[in-house]
Structure 1
Amino acid sequence: MNASNILLLIIVAQIVSLNLAFDKSQNVLSKSKIIHLNGAIGPESVAFDPKGEGPYIGVADGRILKLQLGSQNRLIWADFAVTSSHRKNCTLPFAPEMEHICGRPLGLRFDTKTGDLYIADAYLGLQVVGSKGGLATPLVQNFEGKPLVFTNDVDIDGDVIYFTDTSTKYQRWQFLTSFSNGDTTGRLMKYVKSTKKVTVLLGDLAFANGVALSKNRSFVLVTETTNFRILRYWLKGPLAGTHDVFVELPGFPDNIRINPKGEFWVALQAIRSVSSISDSKFGMLHFTPQQMDEGELHPTAIKLSEDGTVLEALEDVEGKTLRSISDIEEKDGKLWIGSVVMPFLRVYGL
């Protein structure tokens, strides 16, 4: 049994399936199309460049790949960029013990004006690579004299880059320990390109994960995975500099991405354990547990309005064909679905 399957079994052992019951819930993700990665594993984040080309994905061996036309007009995954120059021993598709050397690119975002790709590498910090790819350049690897421990996601607003540092104690390979110990050292951070200044916007976060700016740039969202919620940090207006709870969720949120309408897609990796169902926060969501099947994953894509209202939920109730979900990128009427552990992308037509 390989390491990715062991990881999935560990996750399965800790969660149960839950049918999300509200009017627009649809059990449809199992019908999504598979795009295999030809040996690579773990397309955690999905991004398209300003020309609409891609998708681009970061995989477990440290590479960033681009889906493009090859010879005979066949789609191929081409090497686009890497976050580490130490590639000699980065030959296995999944080798957690090598991630600190090979790099592990997680969140990906393009600057729509410059075409530069910004990368949150779990071990090597915030990086950037030009539109032609190659070896990425580190931007932020330390803060106040200490290295970033677990850089996770990123979003861009002109001169300002927002990113998360999931923990100051635990690296990515220790994420289950972070979960079980209730670690709350995560941070939402800001990097200003013109001044190279780094600041912490929010601290003491429980597994700080996905990041997304609102359409009008008045606030930025950050997912707190082990608190089952999304926080909103206000950037403009009378509430600027403060934060509140944007939405509470029935499962573990990973990445969050905005669509062309200004709505947000949130990837739920799994549903909470039985012990958490009676939690008062859970009741606030108006989700009703209808079905409890011990030991099944329940990947869910939830669409939220600009004010945090649940608009739609797309599910794979049995979790057999789509066992893990980390990212949802909407483009041209399709959802491109990433996973931190699976050897493929999924594409679902809306």
Structure 2
Amino acid sequence: SRGVGPESLAFDCGGEGPYVSVSDGRSLKWRGSKLGWTQFATTTPYWRLRRLCDGSTSPRLEPWCGRPLGIEFSPVTCDLYIADAYFGLPKTEAGGYLKYDPHSNEVTIMYRGLAFPNGVALIKDKTFLLVAESIPMRVLRFWLHDHRAMCPPQPFAQLQKIPDNIEADSKGEFWVA
């Protein structure tokens, strides 16, 4: 399966991949030169029209096909965290922060109502992750453990420009594009 318009890239906790989110709403996994890219996940499994969406390069179709703009695996749980700007999941409002469990193949809504989430990065000590939110030009912190995990996200940074993605480097510093 071929993908166009890659946005975010991640490796799973076993070092496999890379996994990439692409402009037609799919997340793909690299399975080596013999198998190439294969579909791994979509955030809109019931609404997504494969004939319309797969391989599309049209930004006009993103509201129907979904657009995972940030993906990140937890090295502790192997869960895949997804920031999708349009759907989140079927029958939910746009702008979801989602978690994919590769063991059960289930997607869980972690938070709803984000204004164009556009990237996700896990902090080095794995206590929280950051989600770049384009419309309000900010970065939010989502706690992953203890009592704070049940709380709404906290502002982490207010930006001067619209963020297009966020990544953490090996030192644990965050970079916003």
- TM-score scaled by structure 1? 0.41
Secondary structure, counterpart of 1:239 in structure 2: helix
- Bigger fraction of residues in strand: 1
Q: Could you tell me which residue of structure 1 aligns to residue 82 of structure 2?
A: 163
Once superposed, what is the RMSD of the aligned Cα atoms?
2.3
Q: Does 1:141 align with 2:141?
A: no
Residues 125 and 237 (structure 1), Cα distance of their counterparts in 2 relative to 1, 3 Å cut:
same
Would the aligned equivalents of 1:233 and 1:241 in 2 still touch at CA under 8 Å? Answer: no
Would the aligned equivalents of 2:69 and 2:165 in 1 still touch at CA under 8 Å? Answer: no
Which structure 2 residue ranges, 5 or more long, are not aligned? 49-64
Q: In 1, Cα distance between the equivalents of 2:150 and 2:28?
A: 26
Would the aligned equivalents of 2:25 and 2:43 in 1 still touch at CA under 8 Å? Answer: no
If asked which structure has higher relative contact order (CA below 8 Å, sep 6+), I would say 1
Match of 2:154 among 241, 244, 261: 244
Q: Could you tell me which residue of structure 1 aligns to residue 171 of structure 2?
A: 261
Q: Could you tell me which residue of structure 1 aligns to residue 104 of structure 2?
A: 195
**In the TM superposition, what whole-angstrom CA distance separates every residue of 1:173-220 from its partner, at most 9, and x where no partner exists?**
xxxxxxxxxxx8211111111110101112211111011001111111
Would the aligned equivalents of 1:115 and 1:131 in 2 still touch at CA under 8 Å? Answer: no
After superposition, residues 174-253 of structure 1 pair within 5 angstroms as 185-242=94-151, 243-253=153-163
Q: Does 1:123 align with 2:24?
A: yes
Residues 112 and 226 (structure 1), Cα distance of their counterparts in 2 relative to 1, 3 Å cut:
same
Q: Could you tell me which residue of structure 2 aligns to residue 32 of structure 1?
A: none
Residues 256 and 145 (structure 1), Cα distance of their counterparts in 2 relative to 1, 3 Å cut:
same
**In the TM superposition, what whole-angstrom CA distance separates every residue of 1:215-264 from its partner, at most 9, and x where no partner exists?**
11111111001111011111012201321111111111121111222111
Q: Offset of 1:124 from its aligned partner?
A: 3.7
Q: Could you tell me which residue of structure 2 aligns to residue 153 of structure 1?
A: 70
Q: Offset of 1:132 from its aligned partner?
A: 4.3
Which amino acid in structure 1 is aligned with residue 38 of structure 2?
T
**In the TM superposition, what whole-angstrom CA distance separates every residue of 1:58-104 from its partner, at most 9, and x where no partner exists?**
xxxxxxxxxxxxxxxxxxxxxxxxx42xxxxxxxxxxxxxxxxx632
Q: Could you tell me which residue of structure 2 aligns to residue 303 of structure 1?
A: none
Q: Could you tell me which residue of structure 1 aligns to residue 10 of structure 2?
A: 109
Matched-pair identity in %: 29
Which structure 1 residue ranges, 5 or more long, are not aligned? 1-82, 85-101, 170-183, 268-350
Runs of 4+, deviation exceeding 4 Å: 131-134
Q: In 2, Cα distance between the equivalents of 1:223 and 1:133?
A: 35
Which amino acid in structure 2 is aligned with residue 130 of structure 1?
R
Would the aligned equivalents of 1:120 and 1:163 in 2 still touch at CA under 8 Å? Answer: no
Secondary structure, counterpart of 2:39 in structure 1: strand
Q: In 1, Cα distance between the equivalents of 2:26 and 2:125?
A: 27
Would the aligned equivalents of 1:129 and 1:135 in 2 still touch at CA under 8 Å? Answer: yes
- TM-score scaled by structure 2? 0.77
- Bigger fraction of residues in helix: 1
Secondary structure, counterpart of 1:105 in structure 2: coil
Q: Could you tell me which residue of structure 2 aligns to residue 77 of structure 1?
A: none
After superposition, residues 10-49 of structure 1 pair within 5 angstroms as none
Would the aligned equivalents of 1:218 and 1:235 in 2 still touch at CA under 8 Å? Answer: yes
